[in-house]
């Protein structure tokens, strides 16, 4: 193809005009964005659609007491090995919204609106859920894994009323019995445990007026969602197997926290595991099962979106995150 003399001249004219355009104020630098994209991620398990909805993160100074049987310097060495900063630690939170075709089911609810106002980096479940196109009024069931603040506080709106007004709230029967027992509450010692009892009474007494349905392990709590005992972190801590057709995923809840420390070092006891020895036994049992069955796992405290596979690595385990899929 030949360039005609006329085209060449037109091109030359355009080049000559360019410096004038460059001098106009319309060429100012693009402004930097001030926030991240809404954080939600969808995938399918058979015919069931899962949406992981981020509640945000919490970053805090690493204390010597964070892991009761490891020194801060040992923890720092593992963080450095994972290319993470020393002396601070980040915990992520990721509730789920599951569309079974017949029911819209939420699993755990994040840190809630009070945290959103105070901490700012978490409590984002409600707004990320809205960004994902879900109406809280349309939720049929809310399934709770255990009664820690980052899982139950999103049950209430900022004004203290139920955040999912039309949903049945399902709670592990053993967890319910423990936290609602006045004797257990009176025997609780230390600021943390007494605070947790107080918070649970506020959520379930004042907020939900005890309108909950306790559920047992070994049974389906929602279509395709089997409740599995995984105690230690709390007395009634629960995980789930979600299955549909040939699709299957293990929803671990808090069997480990952020895996960069607790999958790699399953013997490390975080201060928030209520019975640390039982929690460790559960962790090893569950992770050995995930390895043996090549079962995918969804982790509430994994870095977002928290879907991965597990492989054995020495005395511990390695999480291999599932690649981000741009289609559903
Ligand atoms: Zn948690």
Question: Can you give the three-state secondary structure of 214-257, one letter per residue?
Answer: EECCCCEEECCEEEEECCCCCCCCEEEEEEECCEEEEEEECCCC
192 CA to centre of ligand 1 in angstroms: 14
300: CA distance to ligand 1 center in Å? 7
For residue 286, give the nearest of 265, 263, 255 by alpha carbon.
255
- Say how far apart CA 11 and CA 140 lie, in whole Å: 64
Which residues in the chain land under pLDDT 50? Answer: 1
Ligand 1 centroid–CA 251 distance in Å is 13
At 240 the pLDDT is: 98
Q: Give distance in angstroms: CA of 241 to centre of ligand 1.
A: 18
Cα-to-centroid distance, 151 and ligand 1 (Å): 6
Q: CA-to-CA distance for 143 and 164, rounded, in angstroms?
A: 12
pLDDT at 1: 47
Question: Ligand 1 center to residue 70 CA distance, Å?
Answer: 21
By residue count, the chain amounts to 328
- Whole-number pLDDT of residue 18: 52
Distance 254 CA to ligand 1 centre (A): 6
Instruction: Give the Å distance between the CA of 144 and the centre of ligand 1.
Output: 11
Going from the Cα of 233 to the center of ligand 1, the distance in angstroms, rounded, reads: 9
How high is the pLDDT of residue 107? 98
If you measure from the C-alpha of residue 299 to the centroid of ligand 1, how many angstroms do you get, rounded to a whole number?
Answer: 10
Ligand 1 centroid vs 171 CA: distance in angstroms?
A: 15
Read off the pLDDT of residues 273-308 as tens digits, 9 standing for 90 and up: 999 999 999 999 999 999 999 999 999 999 999 999
Residue 224 CA to ligand 1 centre (angstroms): 23
Residue 139 confidence (pLDDT): 98
Q: How far is the CA of 146 from the centre of ligand 1 (A)?
A: 8
Distance 37 CA to ligand 1 centre (A): 23
Question: From ligand 1's centre to the CA of 44, what distance in Å?
Answer: 24
Q: Is 321 helix (H, G, I), strand (E, B) or coil?
A: strand
State in Å: Cα 262 to ligand 1 middle: 13
In this predicted structure, what is the pLDDT of residue 27?
72
CA 301 to ligand 1 center in whole angstroms: 7
Beta strands (DSSP E) in the chain are: 40-45, 48-53, 56-61, 88-93, 96-99, 104-107, 141-143, 168-172, 213-215, 220-222, 225-229, 238-244, 247-253, 296-299, 307-313, 316-321
- Residue 123 CA to ligand 1 center (angstroms) comes to 13
Nearest alpha carbon to residue 167 among 127, 126, 213: 213
- Calculate how far, in angstroms, residue 68's C-alpha sits from the geometric centre of ligand 1: 18
Burial of 16 (0-12, 13-18, 19+ CB in 10 A): exposed
**How much distance in Å is there from the Cα of 18 to the middle of ligand 1?**
58
């Amino acid at each position: 193809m030949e360039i005609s003399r006329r085209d060449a001249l037109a091109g030359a004219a355009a080049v000559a005009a360019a410096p004038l355009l460059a001098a106009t104020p319309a060429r100012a630098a693009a402004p930097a964005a001030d926030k991240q994209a809404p954080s939600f991620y969808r995938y399918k398990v058979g015919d069931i659609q899962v949406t992981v909805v981020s509640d945000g993160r919490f970053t805090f100074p690493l204390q010597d007491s964070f892991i009761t049987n490891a020194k801060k310097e040992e923890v720092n060495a593992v963080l450095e090995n994972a290319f993470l900063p020393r002396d601070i630690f980040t915990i992520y939170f990721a509730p789920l919204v599951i569309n079974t075709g017949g029911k819209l089911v939420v699993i755990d609810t994040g840190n809630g609106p009070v945290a959103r106002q105070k901490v700012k980096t978490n409590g984002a479940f409600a707004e990320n859920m809205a960004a994902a196109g879900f109406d809280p009024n349309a939720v049929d069931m809310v399934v709770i894994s255990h009664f820690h603040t980052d899982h139950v506080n999103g049950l209430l709106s900022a004004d203290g009323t139920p955040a999912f007004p039309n949903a049945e709230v399902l709670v592990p029967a053993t967890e319910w019995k423990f936290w609602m027992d006045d004797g257990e509450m009176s025997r609780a010692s230390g600021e943390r445990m007494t605070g947790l009892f107080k918070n649970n009474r506020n959520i379930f007494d004042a907020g939900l007026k005890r309108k909950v349905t306790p559920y047992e392990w070994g049974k389906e709590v929602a279509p395709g969602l089997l409740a599995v005992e995984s105690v230690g972190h709390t007395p009634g801590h629960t995980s789930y197997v979600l299955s549909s057709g040939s699709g299957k995923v293990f929803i671990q809840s808090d069997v480990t926290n952020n895996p960069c420390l607790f999958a790699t070092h399953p013997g490390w006891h975080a201060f928030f595991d209520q019975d640390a020895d039982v929690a460790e036994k559960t962790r090893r049992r569950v992770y050995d099962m995930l390895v043996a069955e090549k079962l995918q796992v969804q982790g509430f405290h994994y870095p977002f979106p928290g879907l991965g596979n597990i492989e054995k690595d020495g005395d511990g385990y390695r999480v291999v995150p599932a690649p981000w899929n741009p289609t559903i």
